[in-house]
Amino acid sequence: MPNLTLLPKVRPHLLALAAGLLIGYVDLHNDEVWAALILLLLVTFIFGLLNPEQAWQWALLVGVGLPLVYLAALLAGSTLPCRPGFECPTLNTITTWQTFMALAPAFIGAYSGAFLRWAFFHLKMSHNLNRQGK
């Protein structure tokens, strides 16, 4: 019988990993980086805002989605999208390793959300203390 007490704790982590894989898919099928970057920042920001204590976990789980998708595409022999008349990039181990750079904006997004939550909490606490006359 599986241990169901871990399920509520695991679900958000699986959701974060699934979001990262979806962002990787968007990046793999788009010839511009902006769509994936905006999604990456937004998703990690939301996870960091909702659970700031685990911001580093959200950044890793969402950010690792891009390298995993690129690795799967490399192993499957897929090609990157290309506009006619432009030099087409090739999918190789170097481009797959380069996707680990997505961890930087993932950490920026997650810790920005965590910081906003922290700032809101402390502003609310100071406001409550001022209202009480302390």
**Domain parsing of the chain, residue ranges:** 4-131
Which residues, other chains included, contact 89 with Cβ-Cβ below 8 Å and sequence gap of 6+? Answer: 80, 82, 95
52, pLDDT greater than 90 = yes
- When mean pLDDT is compared across 23-27, 55-59, 100-104, 130-134, the lowest value belongs to 130-134
Model's pTM, two decimal places?
A: 0.82
- On the question of pLDDT at 82 being above 70, the answer is yes
* Alpha carbon distance 44, 41 (integer Å): 5
Average pLDDT over residues 60-77: 94
For residue 17, the model assigns a pLDDT of 96
What are the CA-CA distances from residue 75 to residues 67, 69, 70, 71, 92 (Å)?
A: 12, 10, 9, 6, 9
Q: Using pLDDT thresholds of 50, 70 and 90, give the confidence band for residue 129.
A: low
Please report which residue ranges of the chain form alpha helices under DSSP H. Answer: 7-28, 34-50, 55-63, 65-76, 93-98, 103-131
Amino acid 129 reads L
Q: What percent of the chain has pLDDT over 70?
A: 86
pLDDT at 84: 78
For residue 73, CA distances in Å to 10, 19, 20, 109 come to 27, 17, 15, 26
The residue to which tokens 């006359």 are assigned: 133
